Amino acid sequence: MFTPIIDSLFIFSIITPIIGFFTPKKSSCLICGAVSAGGYIISMAYLLHILPQILTSPIRIPMETSAVSTSIVIDVPGSLMSLLALALGLFATIYSMRFMERDSGTPLYYSLLMAMVTGIVGASYSGDLFTLFIFWELMCITSYVLVGFRRNVKESVEAAIKYMLMSGVGSATILFGMSLLYGLTGTLNLPRIALSLKAGGEPWLYASLGMLITGFGIKAAIVPLHVWVPDAYAAAPSPISAIIAGASTELAVFVICKLLFFIFPVIKVSWMEFFSVFAVLNMVLGNIVGLLQNDVKRMLAYSSVAHIGYIFIGIAAGTKLGLTASLLHMFNHGLMKALAFLCMGAIIYRIGSRNLEDMAGIGRRMPITSTAFTIAVLGLIGMPPLNGFISKLLLFMSCLDSGMLWLGILLIIFSAVSTGYYIRILKALIAAPRDERLSDVKEAPILILIPICCLAFLMILLGIWPDPILRFAEESSSWLMEVGRYA
């Protein structure tokens, strides 16, 4: 059908519930999880296998020759995004094998999760607005169900409805924006749109750009449109929060990048300033409201909003270094935020509460989880031996390169402000436990610990040895900025 990367995910997402139908209720969670993990591994193995080939020229799976009429281009920027999504999907699946054991309907959960990752992977590889829309909707709709998975809990349902309404409006707006683009150029193929856009038809181009950015921006947590983020991240089961925060939001930003740099270089100057305003709004709101939270998952959600602000700084810079820094920070933030949510989930699994005060002193009882959480938090602050520092440094350098020193200084100031609430998490981890509540809390089970440790290890590795991922990001940005190479 498509490429083996997406095919294997599709096949496994269909097989998993079938197998789940035949396994006994008790162990269905584990077995289905293992089966779907296999799907991710096959997909990632194939992707890594063809990676060297992609670096020279993208693989095109065009509309005419494939069985299903879509246009998928396996190129370097898409691979950056899909690698992140596949890795996070794999970790979330292994994690869910233990985390979701008390929920019903888990075979379908794995299937939906896999479909969501398929959506992310497909959307990042799309060469064509139609394909993008289909996979985008796949990701969105499955994520609606996953956020509200625990439908017996009031707040899950409420969060899911809020999320759905806003995101549905987003999808409709995207569709409208795409139709305007189609009206302007007569084609939906991304490189061809880029090449056939003339300078004429200006107002409609702005309208289309505005609609597309609004639509994708709802998913990407741009400030006035971010209101669903704290509720959805907090109420979703933790592995789902990890995937949505770590892959789906980054995908939205990635698609915005792709559209901006592919299609709209004609009106480059105006959107650069626009994005710096977005960046500042996101940073200010995310960091300041984050200081007021007591629920750790909401705090992490607002910190996501702030980090999206940092990513937008790189886009606002508009240079190649800026785009590289943004892509790198997208990847790093995905890893860090996913690690933070997974650790928080492990703590919730053991103590049943999301509140910061209830968590006090958990570090003594769950040392491995707490160390990993500390690593995630230090990375989010931007401390040196971890990967967050390198991408923040590059973002700052890109600001200076394009002459927006004030934006860079705001970046550093707000990073320092964000330490205010990250420190509260650290403090809660290492404080002395106040009473006997935590005396029978044990360390998280091994299946939950494995993804946490892998992510923490990856973070340290990428921090000390940033070269491979830096080269990857640089290649991606050079491909994204030159549409001509695709035609």
Partner 1 sequence: MLVPNPLLQSILIPLIAAIVIAIIGKRVKEVAGWISCASIVYSTIMLILVVVKIWIDQNPIYEEYAWSELAKLKFGLLADGLSLPVALIANLICTACAAYSIPYMRHRIESIYGGDDWGLYRLYFALYTLFVVGFIGISLSTNLVELYLFIELVLIPSYFLLDLFGYSDRHRVAIMCFIWSHIGAALFLIGVVLAYVKTGSFEVSTLSSLTGTYAFLVCFFILIGWLVKTAVFGFHVWAPWVYAEFPTCAAPVVAITAGLGSYVMVRLLIQHMIETFRIFSIPLMVWAVITMIYGAFLTLAQDDVKRLCACSSISQNAYSLLGIASCATLGVAGGIFYSINHLIGKCILFSVAGILVHQTGLRDMRRMGGLASRMPLTAALFVIGAMTLSAIPPLSGFQAEWIMFVGIFRQGFHGSTTGLVIALIGIFATFLTLIYTFWPVKRIFFGPLPNELRNIGRAPYIMTIPLLILAIISLMLGIYPDILMRFLNSAISASQSY
Partner 2 sequence: MPSFSAYLACAIILYIIGLYCLVTKRNLIRLVMGVEILINAAHINFIAFSAYWVPGFIDPLARSIVIVSIGLAGCFGAVLLSFTVYAYRHYGTLDVRRMRELRG
The distance of closest approach from Cβ of residue 367 to partner 1 in the complex, given in angstroms and rounded to an integer, is: 8
Find the largest Cα–Cα distance for the chain. Answer: 71
Q: Please answer whether residues 126 and 84 qualify as being in contact, where contact means their C-beta atoms are separated by less than 8 angstroms.
A: no
Spatial distance between the Cα atoms of 253 and 267, rounded to a whole number of angstroms: 19
| Binding-site member from 133, 206, 262, 274 for partner 2 (CB under 8 A) | 133
Nearer to partner 1, 432 or 446 (CB): 432
Nearer to partner 1, 154 or 471 (CB): 471
Pick one of partner 1, partner 2, none as the site partner of residue 173 (Cβ within 5 to 8 A by kind).
partner 2
Pick one of partner 2, partner 1, none as the site partner of residue 412 (Cβ within 5 to 8 A by kind).
partner 1
| Binding-site member from 108, 161, 356, 383 for partner 2 (CB under 8 A) | 161
189 in helix, strand or coil?
strand
Pick one of partner 1, partner 2, none as the site partner of residue 224 (Cβ within 5 to 8 A by kind).
none
Residue 482 half-sphere exposure, CB side, CA atoms within 13 Å?
9
Task: Tell the burial category of 403 from Cβ atoms under 10 Å away from its Cβ (0-12, 13-18, 19+).
Answer: exposed
> Which segments of 291-319 does DSSP mark as H helices, in order?
296-317
453, 302, 167, 355: CA torsion to nearest 10: 70
Tokens standing for residue 298: 């909401």
- 361: alpha, beta or left? (left if phi > 0; alpha if psi -120 to 50): left
What residues have CB less than 8 Å from 461, skipping those under 6 apart? none
Spatial distance between the Cα atoms of 105 and 151, rounded to a whole number of angstroms: 11
Spatial distance between the Cα atoms of 484 and 50, rounded to a whole number of angstroms: 23
74 in helix, strand or coil?
strand
The distance of closest approach from Cβ of residue 340 to partner 1 in the complex, given in angstroms and rounded to an integer, is: 17
Residues 374-413 within binding reach of partner 2 (CB under 8 A): none
Give the type of residue at 222.
I
User: Does residue 168 belong to the site contacting partner 2 (CB under 8 A)?
Assistant: yes
Q: Which stretch binds partner 2 (CB under 8 A): 93-101, 177-185, 193-201, 261-269?
A: 177-185
| Binding-site member from 42, 50, 51, 175 for partner 2 (CB under 8 A) | 175
Nearer to partner 2, 24 or 200 (CB): 200
The distance of closest approach from Cβ of residue 280 to partner 2 in the complex, given in angstroms and rounded to an integer, is: 22
Tokens standing for residue 213: 């950015």
Closest CA to 204 of 266, 261, 254, 151: 266
The distance of closest approach from Cβ of residue 466 to partner 1 in the complex, given in angstroms and rounded to an integer, is: 5
Nearer to partner 2, 164 or 452 (CB): 164
Phi, psi of 67 (to 5 degrees): -65, -40
The distance of closest approach from Cβ of residue 318 to partner 1 in the complex, given in angstroms and rounded to an integer, is: 16
Q: Which stretch binds partner 2 (CB under 8 A): 151-159, 305-313, 336-344, 406-414?
A: 151-159
Q: Which stretch binds partner 2 (CB under 8 A): 82-90, 97-105, 134-142, 419-427?
A: 134-142
Q: Please answer whether residues 288 and 417 qualify as being in contact, where contact means their C-beta atoms are separated by less than 8 angstroms.
A: yes
| Binding-site member from 188, 255, 311, 404 for partner 2 (CB under 8 A) | 188
Spatial distance between the Cα atoms of 207 and 191, rounded to a whole number of angstroms: 20
How many other CB atoms are there within 10 angstroms of residue 180's CB atom?
A: 20
Pick one of partner 2, partner 1, none as the site partner of residue 265 (Cβ within 5 to 8 A by kind).
none
Pick one of partner 1, partner 2, none as the site partner of residue 175 (Cβ within 5 to 8 A by kind).
partner 2
The distance of closest approach from Cβ of residue 414 to partner 2 in the complex, given in angstroms and rounded to an integer, is: 20
Strand segments (E) across 309-378 = none
The distance of closest approach from Cβ of residue 26 to partner 1 in the complex, given in angstroms and rounded to an integer, is: 35
Q: Please answer whether residues 350 and 442 qualify as being in contact, where contact means their C-beta atoms are separated by less than 8 angstroms.
A: yes
Nearer to partner 1, 403 or 484 (CB): 403
The distance of closest approach from Cβ of residue 313 to partner 2 in the complex, given in angstroms and rounded to an integer, is: 26
Residues that bind partner 1 (CB under 8 A): 364, 378, 383-385, 389-390, 393-394, 396-397, 400-401, 408-409, 412-413, 415-416, 419-420, 423, 426-427, 430-432, 465-467, 470-471, 474
Q: Would you give the distance in Å from CA 297 to the centre of its chain?
A: 16
Site string for partner 2, 268-297 (x = CB under 8 A): ------------------------xx-x--
DSSP state string for 410-440? HHHHHHHHHHHHHHHHHHHHHSPP-SGGGGG
Spatial distance between the Cα atoms of 145 and 245, rounded to a whole number of angstroms: 16
Nearer to partner 1, 172 or 423 (CB): 423
Q: Please answer whether residues 108 and 289 qualify as being in contact, where contact means their C-beta atoms are separated by less than 8 angstroms.
A: no
Nearer to partner 1, 59 or 416 (CB): 416
Pick one of partner 2, partner 1, none as the site partner of residue 102 (Cβ within 5 to 8 A by kind).
none
- Positions that interact with partner 2 (CB under 8 A): 69, 130, 133-134, 137, 140-141, 144-145, 148, 151, 154-155, 157-161, 164-165, 168-169, 171-173, 175-176, 178-180, 182-183, 186-188, 230-231, 234-235, 292-293, 295, 298
